[in-house]
C-alpha cells in the first residue's frame, strides 16, 4: 500500500466532459450538526475541524481546480489525486502518512442493466473527504442518518463514515446480484416454456454483468484486508469487527456471483439441449413421413411406366381389371397403415419429449445457489 509513482499524462484533461465539481460540507459531533450545506472551495481555507468531524463530499470530477484546492487543504497526496480523477481505477486502499486513501466501485441498477461509478475518499484525524463522479444515493442516506442521529455514525469518527461507504458499495453490489438472480429465474421459466429466441443474448448480457460485479468486489475484498492489517493506527478498534463483517458479505456475494455464472452456463446448455430436442423431434416427423411414402412412391412409379397392355399379356394386365385402381389404392393404404402401426409400437410417434437438464444441473435454481450464509470463503 505504499505510494507508487506512475505516469498519467493528460489524466486530468480526459475528465473535461465530466460534470463540474460541487462541494457539500457536513460538520458534526455528538452534540449535533455545526455545518450542513454546500460550500465553495475558497472557504475551506479558513475552516477548522475543531472537536467535530468534517465530511466534505465532492460531486463531479470535471473541475480540476476545485479538486486540487480540496486536496491541498487536507494534504491529499498528488498520486492519490490522480487516482481520484482517473475514470476506472481498480478498488484499492493506500496509506499516505497519517491519511488513508480508498477507491470504491459503486454498482447501480439501471433499466438497461447496471452502471458502475467510482467513489474514492481520503480520511485522517477529524476529517473525511469523498469524491464521486455522480450523485450516489448512499451518500444522502448517510447524511440523513447523521442529521437524525440514527445509529452510531454521529458519535463516531471519520473511520466510521469510511466503513459506511465501503459497506454501501457492497450493499449496492448485493442488490444488483439479487436483480440478476431474478433475471436468471425469468429466463429459466422462458426456457422451460419454449420461449428461447431471446434467451442466449440475455444470458450473455447477464454474464458480462456478473463479471463486472466480480471485478468490483474481489479487489475490494483485498483492499479491506489490507486496510485491517496495515492501517490499524488510523482505524479505531471498534471499527475492525464492522470491517470483518463487510469482508464476510463480500465473500458471500462473490460466492453467489461464481455460482450464478455456473448456473448461467447451465442455462445456455439447457437452451442448446432444448433446441436440439425440438430439432430432433422435427427430423423424426419428417423421417416418418418420408419412410411411409417411400413404398407408396415405389408402387405409384411402377404403375406410371405406361406399358401397353395390348402389346403383350404381361404388360400390366391388372390395368384392365375393374377393381385394379381401387386395389392399388388399398394396397398403398395398407402399406401405410402397417408402417404407422410399426412406428407406434416402436414408440416413435410419442409426443412431448421430456426436457432433461444438462449433466450436473439437475435441480439447480437461483435459490439453490445462495448457499449457507454462514459458509463463505475469501474472494
User: What value, to the nearest 5°, has the Cα angle with vertex 118 and ends 216 and 220?
Assistant: 30
Separation of CA 239 from chain center: 30
pLDDT-derived band at 190 (thresholds 50, 70, 90) equals: confident
How far is it, in rounded angstroms, from Cα 1 to Cα 99?
12
Closest Cα to residue 213, out of 266, 253, 263, 248? 253
Closest CA to 102 of 210, 238, 243: 243
Residue 22: pLDDT band by 50, 70, 90 thresholds?
confident
Cα→Cα distances 221→232, 245, 247, Å: 17, 11, 6
Contact 170, 246 (CB under 8 A): yes
Q: How confident is the model at residue 371 (pLDDT cuts 50, 70, 90)?
A: very low
**Cα–Cα distance between 223 and 90 in angstroms, integer?**
10
**pLDDT at site 17:** 54
Residues 6 or more apart whose CB falls under 8 angstroms from that of 66 comprise 20, 21, 23, 41, 58
Distance CA 153, CA 151 (A): 6
DSSP per-residue letters across 237-262: TTTHHHHHHHHHHHHHHHHHHHHHHH
Q: Where are the alpha helices (DSSP H) in the chain?
A: 64-74, 78-85, 137-147, 158-192, 199-230, 240-302, 324-346
Question: What integer best gives the mean pLDDT of the chain?
Answer: 79
Angle at 33 between CA 29 and CA 34, to 5 degrees: 100
Residue 279: burial class (beta carbons within 10 Å; 0-12, 13-18, 19+): exposed
* Three-class HEC string of 113-182: EEEEEEEEEEEECCEEEEEECCCCHHHHHHHHHHHCCCCCHHHCCHHHHHHHHHHHHHHHHHHHHHHHHH
> Average of pLDDT values for 245-253?
90
User: At residue 179, does pLDDT exceed 60?
Assistant: yes
Q: CA nearest 213: which of 87, 108, 369, 88?
A: 108
The answer to whether residue 2 scores a pLDDT higher than 50 is no
**What does the domain layout of the chain look like in residue ranges?**
13-271
- State which CATH number among 3.30.460.20, 3.40.50.2000, 3.40.50.300, 3.40.50.720 fits the domain covering 13-271: 3.30.460.20
pLDDT over threshold 60, residue 147: yes
- Is the pLDDT confidence value at 187 over 60? yes
| pLDDT > 60? residue 367 | no
Mean pLDDT, range 109-120, rounded to an integer: 79
Q: What is the pLDDT of residues 41-73, one digit of tens each?
A: 777 776 666 678 889 999 888 888 888 888 888
pLDDT at 111 exceeding the cut of 80:
no
The answer to whether residues 81 and 60 touch, using CB atoms and an 8 Å cutoff, is no
Cell 449535533 belongs to 32
Across residues 218-246, what is the average pLDDT? 83
Q: What is the pLDDT of residues 263-281, one digit of tens each?
A: 888 888 888 887 787 888 8
At residue 16 the predicted structure's pLDDT band, cuts being 50, 70 and 90, is: very low
Q: How far apart are CA 150 and CA 322, in angstroms?
A: 103
**What pLDDT is stored for residue 366 in this prediction?**
54
What's the whole-model pTM score? 0.69
Amino acid at each position: 500500500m505504499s505510494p507508487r509513482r506512475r505516469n498519467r499524462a493528460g489524466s486530468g484533461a480526459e475528465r473535461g466532459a465530466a460534470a463540474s465539481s460541487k462541494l457539500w460540507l457536513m460538520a458534526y459531533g455528538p452534540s449535533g450538526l455545526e455545518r450542513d450545506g454546500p460550500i465553495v472551495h475558497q472557504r475551506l481555507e479558513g475552516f477548522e475541524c475543531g472537536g467535530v468531524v468534517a465530511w466534505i463530499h465532492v460531486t463531479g470530477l470535471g473541475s480540476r481546480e476545485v479538486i486540487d484546492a480540496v486536496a491541498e487543504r487536507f494534504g491529499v497526496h498528488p498520486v492519490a489525486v490522480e487516482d481520484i480523477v482517473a475514470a476506472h481505477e481498480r478498488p484499492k486502499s493506500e496509506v499516505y502518512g497519517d491519511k488513508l486513501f480508498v477507491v470504491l466501485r459503486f454498482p447501480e441498477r439501471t433499466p438497461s442493466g447496471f452502471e458502475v461509478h467510482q467513489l474514492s475518499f481520503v480520511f485522517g484525524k477529524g476529517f473525511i473527504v469523498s469524491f464521486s463522479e455522480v450523485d450516489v444515493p448512499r451518500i444522502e442516506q448517510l447524511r440523513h442518518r447523521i442529521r437524525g442521529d440514527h445509529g452510531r455514525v454521529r458519535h463516531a469518527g471519520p473511520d466510521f463514515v469510511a466503513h459506511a461507504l465501503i459497506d454501501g458499495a457492497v450493499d449496492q453490489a448485493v442488490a444488483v446480484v439479487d436483480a440478476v438472480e431474478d433475471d436468471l429465474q425469468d429466463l429459466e421459466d422462458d426456457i422451460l416454456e419454449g420461449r428461447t429466441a431471446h434467451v442466449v443474448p440475455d444470458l450473455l448480457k447477464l454474464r458480462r454483468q456478473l463479471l463486472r460485479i466480480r471485478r468490483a468486489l474481489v479487489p475490494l475484498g483485498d483492499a479491506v484486508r489490507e486496510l485491517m492489517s496495515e492501517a490499524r493506527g488510523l482505524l479505531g478498534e471498534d471499527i475492525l469487527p464492522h470491517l470483518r463483517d463487510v469482508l464476510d458479505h463480500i465473500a458471500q456475494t462473490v460466492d453467489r456471483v461464481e455460482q450464478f455464472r455456473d448456473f448461467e452456463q447451465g442455462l445456455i446448455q439447457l437452451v442448446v439441449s432444448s433446441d436440439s430436442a425440438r430439432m430432433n423431434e422435427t427430423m423424426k416427423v419428417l423421417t416418418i413421413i418420408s419412410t411411409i411414402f417411400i413404398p407408396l412412391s415405389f408402387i405409384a412409379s411402377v404403375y406410371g411406366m405406361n406399358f401397353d397392355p395390348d402389346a403383350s399379356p404381361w404388360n400390366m394386365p391388372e390395368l384392365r381389371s375393374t377393381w385394379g385402381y381401387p386395389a392399388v389404392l388399398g394396397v398403398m393404404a395398407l402399406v401405410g397403415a402397417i408402417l404407422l402401426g410399426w412406428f407406434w409400437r416402436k414408440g416413435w410417434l410419442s409426443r412431448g419429449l421430456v426436457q432433461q437438464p444438462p449433466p450436473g444441473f439437475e435441480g439447480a435454481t437461483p435459490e439453490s445457489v445462495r448457499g449457507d450464509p454462514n459458509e463463505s470463503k475469501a474472494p
